[in-house]
Structure 1
């Protein structure tokens, strides 16, 4: 029983001492204690044992940023025993000031002691070697009050009167806002109090996404600078030291969009709608497409914020949209978003057509009022489709001077001879015609029946190619071969899919043809299968025949008009 009690006390002692023993195997130190907000310092973790474990850096609080890290390892023999030291150097920084703590960091079965830090406030300027303000920062916004989704320009300027090494400038951040850098940095020189500064200017566009108060974070500049006060006495070289300066945070008040405002919501400083027609003409032709390009330019919004341009439908015009192009430009006032819409416009009937005004409402952030961008109305004269065959001009026959009115005897005698010859020829023609009428009817088909025979072999060959293209889903080939096949079957007045679709009564087939025509003007849907089959093509030919017969019957006047 006494032995059992001793074993229990020994176990308790081991449990109490083990953490201390484990902690004694690993240590954590920092390279300096005078640390300002934004300045870097090194956390050194050292393990007096060879281990494959790595320190758990996820335990470091979010207030600290890990700038870099490295690892070292060395061994030596002391009194015949091998001693191993392994360690990690983690460079950290924080923008917060006050008392902060680096908690216990575990390395496998070992753990470090926590480290308490007192981080002093950082300034937006640096005094060095007895001189004030050798490096300083400036940060500003073009407005402290903005609407939700309105552009806010944030500008930071870095002034340097001394050389720096390993310089770094952090990015601004803001909750519930999109932050985008505007172009490249601008470099220039400026004299202040007879001191020359090298200035780096960087601009950002902020687009707040939620109304309320938001804070634009401080921007931090870190670098190494030469410090003559730290010159090594045994060397002529001056020592460098890390420095850090930080701007003050900026508060931004974000207003919600006004009530009863038109949609879409476009807070901007300028909105312009322009268009272009190619070819630039006031006359269109039925079935012939023209390109209508509409350009939307918005100062103060990115291209991703621009809406689709709504265009009213116009009777007698069909248009097919291409994929919109979205672009952006950067100028002194920030972002210029661009949206380019291209349409293929095809007139379907002749006459006068007017495309009404295209309007887009937007909110002018300068005047704090709603405005409307307008694209002027445009009127076109639509001409009938161009005919494929030109009727040759028939010049009038030359007038023949009357012979009978002449009183010349010789001419009268010559005329009598011609009259006798013409009478003889007429008699001969009548005899020949009488003989032809009495000739038995031949068993060969008449010429009329020959004209009604099936289409020539070329039409059949084209039809086979058409069926192959339909199976492959080659829309461009289907359109080309279908028009060619229809023309070879005698319907030469049809030159577009749209003209064929007008004749078709079957709504399903009509929709297929209209979809096929739209493929020509859509780059994104060119591979869509229209699913046309043999029976569809035969139905088209049948419908064309009915249309032609109806037109012919209406064109023949009655034999005995009343």
Structure 2
């Protein structure tokens, strides 16, 4: 035991490097083994290898042996390296625990020196760009093609790299075939979308292809099915994998050409929105269609911007503006990148628009400036301003509208320069009777006057008779129906608040307002708050919150119980419960004796 324990102490520390071969082609790999013996600990510093080599794989192991009572322990690191360039390359000294390896030299010869181009290569990588002079933030396609004559046993393609730009893979790989110098190749295409983030030269480093190609059958083990295929002439099993092939093959590394594009700066920098694209369209839709604008009723406006040659992240924010006389509740915009050979982006914005007053409503213009990369000039997508008429709320008296045929009543009659004023026709009234026509034989004006006087006489007689029947000279009081309507609306409001249903609460409040002001009902919750005066000012936030809970995207959180506690005393004070009840609203059936 003492000898075994003393063995490692006497072992010498050693750290060495060894290559499996000293000459390799540029598209092949080589294996570097590092061995450390004795008491060396830690991990070797492999940073110096990155200058001329790329580390593809790395593994480590250790072993212990006893010889003549001496214990020795060895650790080994196995590195698979791919040369970055052709020429005479050097494995620099590597350090471990204060000990260094000796440098090793390897000769890297160009792959297929006798081949002109890539026609004779069994597998290679080709890279292309569709635009060599894009603008900053202008997206363009970077295409990677892998071409091979024989199906590789295994193939791994790394990602391209570009400093100062974003790369995003687009869609699935596409397969096709192509003939190059009389050789038929299978082509696998992979597309990337590149968006440069700064102007100046942009270099895109080609991805690396690592493939394991099958060795020639004549050089390897003979398949037991070879004789079985011969009698069939065309070898029907030649495309099936060899069950006795345990995965041996020739490993190759291929890279495409690094490409450099010149990114142009933004023209007229500082003008705000910068959207380079091939085409931009701005459209709108209404729900319901066609829209009907009425006080207190929401109308949904959907704005859509579509840009070809841009990504969704580049689309600007749409600003519909806030028209005077309406409340606007926008939803969060939705963006998406549409599939297709060319990048196409879509942004959708939905807005709930609630008119607050009747009359004319002006929707402001919407503008989206963009840069036409095809014509190389600035353009603007526009939805022009529009004027719409808002109808009053149900039950509210409408403003007098002009009659299409009665244009003379809408404005003063103006005679033409060559027309005698005596020839100007008289204005017609709302009854549609043309008084300028004196040739009529029917006495309609006199009949109308007679019936009007008869109706007035009947009305006067009825009022005098009802006053005499009352016996007390009191005027009939206001009927109780509005008060009963207010009570019913308050009950519905309480139920809606308890159930946290903002839509039902809003409808109950509007019904309460209709019962409270039957001849001039409120146009919305904001109008109710205005009519309630100081008390309405205290509850304005609550009424506004109800509107937001109804029309805001997804329904904003709403505390119905708290809203009812704040609204109940206000409605009681300003409603029928706060006014003195009328006395004897209807006359008695039998007259009461006086005294």
Q: What TM-score does the superposition give when structure 1 sets the normalisation length?
A: 0.70
2: CA distance, partners of 1:125 / 1:329 = 45
2: CA distance, partners of 1:165 / 1:191 = 22
Name the residue aligned to 1:66. 55
SS in 1 for 2:548: helix
Q: Structure 2 vs 1, CA of residues 272 and 131 (structure 1 numbering), >3 Å: closer, same or farther?
A: closer
Name the residue aligned to 1:224. 212
2: CA distance, partners of 1:189 / 1:529 = 66
1: CA distance, partners of 2:65 / 2:218 = 34
Name the residue aligned to 1:326. 335
Name the residue aligned to 1:3. none
2: CA distance, partners of 1:264 / 1:548 = 59
Shift of 1:143: 1.6
1:12-411 alignment runs, 5 A limit: 21-22=12-13, 24=14, 26-37=15-26, 39-49=28-38, 53-57=42-46, 61=50, 64-97=53-86, 102-107=91-96, 109=97, 111-113=99-101, 115-118=103-106, 120=108, 132-228=120-216, 231=219, 240-259=249-268, 262-333=271-342, 335-387=343-395
Gaps of 5+ in 1: 1-17, 390-429, 439-445, 550-562
2: CA distance, partners of 1:218 / 1:242 = 19
Question: Deviation string for 1:260-288 (max 9, x for gaps)?
Answer: 67430001111111221111114322211
**8 Å CA contact retained: 2:548, 2:556:** no
1: CA distance, partners of 2:384 / 2:478 = 59
Question: Deviation string for 1:310-367 (max 9, x for gaps)?
Answer: 223323332210011010013222x111111011121222234343442211001111
**8 Å CA contact retained: 1:223, 1:242:** yes
**8 Å CA contact retained: 1:140, 1:154:** yes
**8 Å CA contact retained: 1:138, 1:158:** yes
2: CA distance, partners of 1:201 / 1:124 = 24
Name the residue aligned to 2:230. none
**8 Å CA contact retained: 2:393, 2:523:** no
Does 2:562 align with 1:538?
A: no
Shift of 1:532: 5.0
Shift of 1:201: 0.9
Q: Structure 2 vs 1, CA of residues 198 and 347 (structure 1 numbering), >3 Å: closer, same or farther?
A: same
Q: What TM-score does the superposition give when structure 2 sets the normalisation length?
A: 0.66
Question: Deviation string for 1:20-39 (max 9, x for gaps)?
Answer: 953x2x32223333345564
SS in 2 for 1:145: coil
Which of 491, 504, 529 does residue 480 from structure 1 map onto? 504
Q: Which has the higher strand share?
A: 1
Name the residue aligned to 2:544. 514
**8 Å CA contact retained: 1:123, 1:247:** no
SS in 2 for 1:514: helix
SS in 2 for 1:363: strand
Q: Structure 2 vs 1, CA of residues 349 and 159 (structure 1 numbering), >3 Å: closer, same or farther?
A: same
Q: Structure 2 vs 1, CA of residues 547 and 155 (structure 1 numbering), >3 Å: closer, same or farther?
A: farther
Shift of 1:99: 5.9
**8 Å CA contact retained: 1:98, 1:121:** yes
**8 Å CA contact retained: 2:291, 2:299:** no
Shift of 1:219: 3.0
Question: Deviation string for 1:29-69 (max 9, x for gaps)?
Answer: 23333345564333322233588744455665476543322
1: CA distance, partners of 2:350 / 2:22 = 65
Question: Deviation string for 1:104-158 (max 9, x for gaps)?
Answer: 4455x46441545557476699969x98233233221112111111112111222
**8 Å CA contact retained: 1:30, 1:42:** yes
**8 Å CA contact retained: 1:125, 1:135:** no
Q: Structure 2 vs 1, CA of residues 291 and 363 (structure 1 numbering), >3 Å: closer, same or farther?
A: same
**8 Å CA contact retained: 1:262, 1:361:** no
1: CA distance, partners of 2:478 / 2:391 = 37
Gaps of 5+ in 2: 1-8, 225-244, 398-464, 581-595
**8 Å CA contact retained: 1:122, 1:246:** no
Shift of 1:213: 1.4
Name the residue aligned to 2:416. none
Shift of 1:296: 0.8
SS in 1 for 2:540: helix
Question: Deviation string for 1:149-177 (max 9, x for gaps)?
Answer: 11121112221112212212222211111
**8 Å CA contact retained: 2:156, 2:209:** yes
**8 Å CA contact retained: 1:267, 1:364:** yes
SS in 2 for 1:253: strand
**8 Å CA contact retained: 1:285, 1:350:** yes
The aligned length equals 470
